[in-house]
């Protein structure tokens, strides 16, 4: 399912400014009419990008976002979005998709409030959909203790990882199973520099530009007035509707395309394409590698129990969670997601195959342990003791780049914290791996915030 998107009109805004100046009439300024000093900019752009983790329990996790609000001190509340955006989180496991780009008053904000009015879990076993109740009437407050700045005429990207797999707590068994939603939502605020996951955007080519060469205006399929600039360069891989390598000259106005790349927000919002797929026939397939690549192809056993030959093309790109990798990362037993085209077969007896534009190597699943923090707790060494929920004690090391998330389920508030915020007695869920010395190396720490008694 494609997520509808709302874009900032970077190029169109510049054009509108130009037309406004041109409407003032010809001729230069005179002594009687001194040039006016333009007012200082007071607004910046905020883009919300949604992403999620994979799930074995569910085939789809759909939620409907109806509001996004920025909350600050002097700035008060700034409505970033109000409407209805249906998102299938499990379509976003290796990519982020832009859902909202909006203009707000510049200033410092400490909270992003999301309001959702519906959550649907579709079981992978084909059972009926499940609709957990939502805390706080669907309100989720994402807090930043230090605050984040929206600067005039700058774009701030906020990647929201809903982490629905960890947000849904299942208790009981059989017909007595209960599904509860707690807001395990992580936020990565990106003001230029390194960005999060690759962006994947579908749309229609509205205009092809000559300056810069290799650029075009991409507009949303369902809301054609919502557009953004896309650029390609000599490092971009371009594929046609059959999944074969081509070049930019084959791109035409009104072509449906998929663009995979990253954002440049130095001036407006520009999507820099790593991959451009022309023709609207691209799709995504997940599975497990069951043969090593030979003669530029390998065999994939898909998640829906099918054998699929993956053809590697000139220009096929390879990524994992840390960025670009090489084809040597494709080995037997690896879980991958393939982006590409399944062309029609010349003979029905031929094996099914997909021509790959992108091979994304999935990360290994984390182990999970839960318990209560005990001494010794050492913030400098980033370590603490843990009494496990099921009994016994163990030692924990928190990786330097680990996410530390404080979840107040009662208030439906989420705060990104640091190692200094951990304390003895806190109840935590840890995700990572048990090391050879039996200590647990945590990539993520989720702290349950216990409301103070009144």
CATH number at residue 208: 2.40.50.140
- CB distance 116 to 140 below 8 Å: yes
Q: Model's pTM, two decimal places? A: 0.79
Band of pLDDT at residue 176, cut at 50, 70 and 90: confident
Please indicate, yes or no, whether residues 400 and 338 belong to a single structural domain of this protein. no
Please indicate, yes or no, whether residues 355 and 414 belong to a single structural domain of this protein. no
Please indicate, yes or no, whether residues 239 and 325 belong to a single structural domain of this protein. no
Residues 6+ apart with CB under 8 A from 127: none
- 422: pLDDT strictly greater than 90: yes
- CB distance 313 to 322 below 8 Å: no
* First-residue to last-residue Cα distance in the chain: 46
Please indicate, yes or no, whether residues 316 and 212 belong to a single structural domain of this protein. no
Please indicate, yes or no, whether residues 237 and 356 belong to a single structural domain of this protein. no
Please indicate, yes or no, whether residues 72 and 133 belong to a single structural domain of this protein. yes
Q: Domain boundary residue among 346, 361, 376?
A: 361
- CB distance 130 to 57 below 8 Å: no
Please indicate, yes or no, whether residues 92 and 127 belong to a single structural domain of this protein. yes
Q: Given this model, what pLDDT does residue 157 score?
A: 87
Instruction: Tell me whether residue 26 is in a domain.
Output: no
- Domain housing 122: 10-16+40-190
Q: Domain boundary residue among 140, 156, 190?
A: 190
Q: What does DSSP assign to residue 245?
A: B
Instruction: Tell me whether residue 453 is in a domain.
Output: no
User: DSSP per residue over 29-63, as a string?
Assistant: -BTTBPPPPPPPP-EEEEEEEEE----SSEEEEEE
**Could you tell me the CA-to-CA distances from 110 to 71, 113, 186, 266 in Å, in that order?**
6, 10, 15, 23
Angle at 419 between CA 416 and CA 422, to 5 degrees: 90
Band of pLDDT at residue 361, cut at 50, 70 and 90: very high
Q: Domain boundary residue among 190, 215, 243?
A: 190
Residue recorded with tokens 């914290």: 417
Q: What is the rounded distance in angstroms from the CA atom of residue 408 to the CA atom of residue 139?
A: 12
- 12: pLDDT strictly greater than 50: no
pLDDT tens profile 231-255:
999 999 999 999 999 999 999 999 9
**Could you tell me the CA-to-CA distances from 203 to 5, 228, 286 in Å, in that order?**
9, 10, 23
Instruction: Tell me whether residue 385 is in a domain.
Output: yes
Question: Taking the C-alpha atoms of 16, 18, 23 and 26 in order, what is their torsion angle to the nearest 10 degrees?
Answer: -170
Instruction: Tell me whether residue 167 is in a domain.
Output: yes
Q: Given this model, what pLDDT does residue 18 score?
A: 24
Please indicate, yes or no, whether residues 132 and 207 belong to a single structural domain of this protein. no
Helix residue ranges per DSSP H, 147-238: 164-167
Up-side HSE of residue 28: CA atoms within 13 Å toward CB? Answer: 1
Please indicate, yes or no, whether residues 213 and 169 belong to a single structural domain of this protein. no
Q: Given this model, what pLDDT does residue 196 score?
A: 62
Please indicate, yes or no, whether residues 172 and 108 belong to a single structural domain of this protein. yes
Q: What is the mean pLDDT of the chain?
A: 84
Instruction: Tell me whether residue 351 is in a domain.
Output: yes
- Any bridge partners for residue 289, and if so which? 300
Please indicate, yes or no, whether residues 76 and 162 belong to a single structural domain of this protein. yes
Backbone angles phi, psi at 334, to 5 degrees: -80, 135
Q: Given this model, what pLDDT does residue 409 score?
A: 87
Q: What is the rounded distance in angstroms from the CA atom of residue 285 to the CA atom of residue 301?
A: 10
- 412: pLDDT strictly greater than 60: yes
Instruction: Tell me whether residue 35 is in a domain.
Output: no
Q: What is the rounded distance in angstroms from the CA atom of residue 360 to the CA atom of residue 264?
A: 22
Instruction: Tell me whether residue 164 is in a domain.
Output: yes
pLDDT tens profile 45-63:
888 888 877 677 788 888 8
Instruction: Tell me whether residue 159 is in a domain.
Output: yes
Backbone angles phi, psi at 328, to 5 degrees: -70, -10
Please indicate, yes or no, whether residues 210 and 299 belong to a single structural domain of this protein. no
Provide the number of structural domains found in the chain.
4
Q: How many helices (H) and strands (E) does the chain have?
A: 2, 28
């Amino acid at each position: 399912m494609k997520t509808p998107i709302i874009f900032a009109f970077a190029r169109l805004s510049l054009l509108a400014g130009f037309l406004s100046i041109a409407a003032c009439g010809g001729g230069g300024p005179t002594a009687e009419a001194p040039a006016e000093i333009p007012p200082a900019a007071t607004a910046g752009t905020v883009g919300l990008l949604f992403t999620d983790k994979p799930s074995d329990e569910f085939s789809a996790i759909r939620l409907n976002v109806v509001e996004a609000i920025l909350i600050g001190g002097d700035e008060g509340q700034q409505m970033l979005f109000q409407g209805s955006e249906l998102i299938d989180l499990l379509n976003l496991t290796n990519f982020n998709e832009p859902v909202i780009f909006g203009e707000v008053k510049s200033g410092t904000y400490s909270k992003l409030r999301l309001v959702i009015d519906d959550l649907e879990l579709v079981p992978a076993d084909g059972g009926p959909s499940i609709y957990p109740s939502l805390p706080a009437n669907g309100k989720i407050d994402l807090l930043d203790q230090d605050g984040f700045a929206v600067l005039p005429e700058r774009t701030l990207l906020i990647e929201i990882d809903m982490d629905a797999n960890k947000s849904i707590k299942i208790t009981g068994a059989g017909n007595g199973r209960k599904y509860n939603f707690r807001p395990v939502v992580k936020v990565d605020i990106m003001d230029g520099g390194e960005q999060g996951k690759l962006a994947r955007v579908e749309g229609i080519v509205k205009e092809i530009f000559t300056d810069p060469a290799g650029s075009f205006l991409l507009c949303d399929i369902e809301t054609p007035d919502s557009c953004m600039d896309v650029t390609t360069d000599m490092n971009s891989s371009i594929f046609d509707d059959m999944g074969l390598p081509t070049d930019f000259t084959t791109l035409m106005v009104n072509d449906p395309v998929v663009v995979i790349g990253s954002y440049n927000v130095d001036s407006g919002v520009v999507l820099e394409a790593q991959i451009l797929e022309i023709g609207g026939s691209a799709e995504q397939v997940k599975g497990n590698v069951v043969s090593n690549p030979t003669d530029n192809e390998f065999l994939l056993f898909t998640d829906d129990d099918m054998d699929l030959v993956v053809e590697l093309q000139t220009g096929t790109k390879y990524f994992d969670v840390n960025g670009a990798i090489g084809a040597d990362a494709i080995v037997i037993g690896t879980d991958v997601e393939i982006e590409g085209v399944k062309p029609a077969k010349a003979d029905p007896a031929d094996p099914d195959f997909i021509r790959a534009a992108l091979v994304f190597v999935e990360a290994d699943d984390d182990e999970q342990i839960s318990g209560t923090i005990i001494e010794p707790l050492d913030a400098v060494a980033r370590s603490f003791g843990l009494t496990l929920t099921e009994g016994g004690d163990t030692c924990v090391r928190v990786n330097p780049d680990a996410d530390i998330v404080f979840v107040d389920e009662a208030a439906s508030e989420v705060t990104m914290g640091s190692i200094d915020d951990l304390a003895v007695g806190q109840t935590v869920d840890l995700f990572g791996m048990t090391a050879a010395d039996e200590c647990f190396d945590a990539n993520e720490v989720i702290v349950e915030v216990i409301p103070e008694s009144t």
